[in-house]
Chains A and B, each alone.
Chain A
């Protein structure tokens, strides 16, 4: 079974080795000379301001992107599901950024948001006389990355939610109409409950995905300004591959893991808890 071989070597084994590494002051050149330090890496992390900064930045990014992405893609999916012209064109446009690599997305948005040469600032300056420093001010850098991300990944959610909406039997709406239910009632009492699984999936997957954001800050802001966009995975990457603190980074990976499992469970119980299936 070739898959089991790959799975074991490149997924299971790293998982165990990561745990082992996280308990050592890992020596990347001479692994056998690594020093066993127990939970010291985890203890150090708890008092590492960069770690906490990275964690808060990541949470901030998740809060900025996930709700916006889910609400917007739900709105677009419900819109496209109606009798609109050019459904295919709309679907193609909304979904297409998803096939771009983060490098292309980041580069295009770097130009788009450019303070002196970008079109956004040109029009803002023309109408309001302002030139916001999108990526170089602590206030706006993270929201700018958020907007970029929503543009990039909205399509994935849109497709899943559109499929979820199309899976609802039309007779439910017909029945509601006969009962004189308003559009809002139909949305609240049919659409939302029927789409619960799709919405739950999108929320969980986006939480997991956005929590691991890396490419956007790496390319667009290099974690700046003043560390305000250095996310947890970015810090993990720097610790491991710039500072060779492998054990430390492995410990960070495990904390990330614990957080994501916790968040997924919370999501599951909050949105899907009353499931009777």
Chain B
């Protein structure tokens, strides 16, 4: 992409401008001053980007196509990128004979409740840390920020004994409550709340608002975008969580999708179609959420990048 030679060199073949020039070509032309150069470079960039994108999409295509193939076709040596015989037998089987619907409900409950609790708990503490004065505040902030450094897996063994002592093994709460302790959201919201101008708050205080009213009526409405981004990120994160549900949930019917999916792997003869259909069904809810709300998720990731 940043070709060191592209500057001084003029490719004779590139003199005829590519007819398929895009709208931004003027800007690009100004950029290097040589129209021919720009076109060749632009074509190259497009080729590389779309080439990589095609490679990225292949696993999806394979999952999709195999899930509609009968077993005999899927285990042929020749891969069929388009099913020769189109069948829904795997999907039918899964809906009739597997716990996938139950697992989807479990996952939805766990990720949903965890996200709600995270939003409430994180926004309250972030509000208290950023907008109120109380003793020990700065110490707590430092501890929370420092806990970012703690690798998650350091904690799983003692955490498991604690969850076990609380009688939460094999319960949804045993998965949900530790998720609420994550410092990520606190930090994101703290950064955002801190930058809300003081004037709003002062005006509200003059009107006799209590701290709680300021929090619910001023801070929360103002932070809807960041809350949405956080909510989406946390939902995806908890939906996909693997290790912790694997440890806590020990009964087939209480599994989340990620765990249930893996539990089916060893138990059957080689049926790529069924496996792929299952993987596809497990991904569809989040893929849909992702396609519709992508910008919020992108925002949540970007926010993490600037917290540093």
The 8 A CB mask of B160-198 against A (1 = contact, 0 = none) is: 111000000000000001101101001000000000000
Could you write out 26 A-B pairs with CB less than 8 Å apart?
A2-B117, A6-B180, A10-B162, A11-B150, A14-B162, A15-B155, A17-B158, A83-B27, A96-B290, A99-B286, A100-B286, A101-B242, A101-B258, A101-B283, A103-B257, A103-B279, A111-B63, A159-B301, A183-B3, A183-B4, A187-B2, A198-B305, A236-B153, A241-B247, A253-B151, A260-B151
Query: Which chain A residues lie closer than 8 Å to B92 at the CB level?
Result: none
The answer to whether B272 touches A117 (Cβ under 8 A) is yes
Interface residues of B (CB under 8 A from A): 1-4, 6-7, 22, 24-25, 27-28, 31-32, 42, 45-46, 48-50, 52-53, 56-59, 62-63, 66, 74-79, 117, 120-122, 124-125, 128, 140, 143-144, 147, 149-162, 177-178, 180-181, 183, 186, 236, 239-240, 242-243, 247, 257-259, 261-262, 265, 270, 272, 275-276, 278-279, 282-283, 286-287, 289-291, 294, 297-298, 301-302, 304-306, 308
The answer to whether B154 touches A254 (Cβ under 8 A) is yes
Query: Which chain B residues lie closer than 8 Å to A219 at the CB level?
Result: 262, 265
Q: Which 6 residue pairs across A and B have the least CB separation, nearest first? A: A83-B24, A160-B305, A119-B79, A3-B121, A3-B125, A253-B154
Query: Which chain A residues lie closer than 8 Å to B62 at the CB level?
Result: 108, 111-112, 119
Query: Which chain A residues lie closer than 8 Å to B56 at the CB level?
Result: 93-94, 97, 151
Query: Which chain A residues lie closer than 8 Å to B120 at the CB level?
Result: 2
Q: In residues 94-143 of chain A, which contact B (Cβ within 8 Å)?
A: 94-97, 99-104, 106-109, 111-112, 114, 116-119, 122
The 8 A CB mask of A240-270 against B (1 = contact, 0 = none) is: 1100001001100110110011001000000
The answer to whether A14 touches B124 (Cβ under 8 A) is no
In the bound complex, what is the Cα–Cα distance between A90 and B66 (angstroms)?
A: 24
Q: Which residue of A lies closest to B20 (CB)?
A: A85
Q: Check A201/B294 contact, CB under 8 A, given A21-B161, A122-B77.
A: no
User: Which residue of A6, A21, A107, A198 contacts B265 across the interface (Cβ within 8 Å)?
Assistant: A107
The answer to whether B31 touches A177 (Cβ under 8 A) is yes
The answer to whether A14 touches B158 (Cβ under 8 A) is yes
The answer to whether B153 touches A122 (Cβ under 8 A) is no
The answer to whether B151 touches A211 (Cβ under 8 A) is yes
Nearest-neighbour CB distance to chain A for B260, whole angstroms, equals 8
Interface residue SS majority, chain B: helix
Q: Check A212/B149 contact, CB under 8 A, given A101-B258, A102-B258.
A: no
Instruction: Known pairs A20-B158, A253-B153; list 8 more (Cβ under 8 Å).
Output: A21-B161, A78-B2, A91-B298, A94-B53, A108-B59, A160-B304, A163-B305, A214-B243
Nearest-neighbour CB distance to chain B for A86, whole angstroms, equals 8
Q: Check A240/B22 contact, CB under 8 A, given A2-B124, A112-B62.
A: no
The answer to whether A18 touches B143 (Cβ under 8 A) is no
Nearest-neighbour CB distance to chain A for B237, whole angstroms, equals 10
The answer to whether B272 touches A93 (Cβ under 8 A) is no
The answer to whether B242 touches A240 (Cβ under 8 A) is no
In the bound complex, what is the Cα–Cα distance between A71 and B78 (angstroms)?
A: 34
The answer to whether B128 touches A1 (Cβ under 8 A) is yes
In the bound complex, what is the Cα–Cα distance between A28 and B4 (angstroms)?
A: 62
Instruction: Check A36 for interface membership: any CB of B closer than 8 A.
Output: no
Instruction: Check A79 for interface membership: any CB of B closer than 8 A.
Output: yes
Query: Which chain A residues lie closer than 8 Å to B7 at the CB level?
Result: 182-184
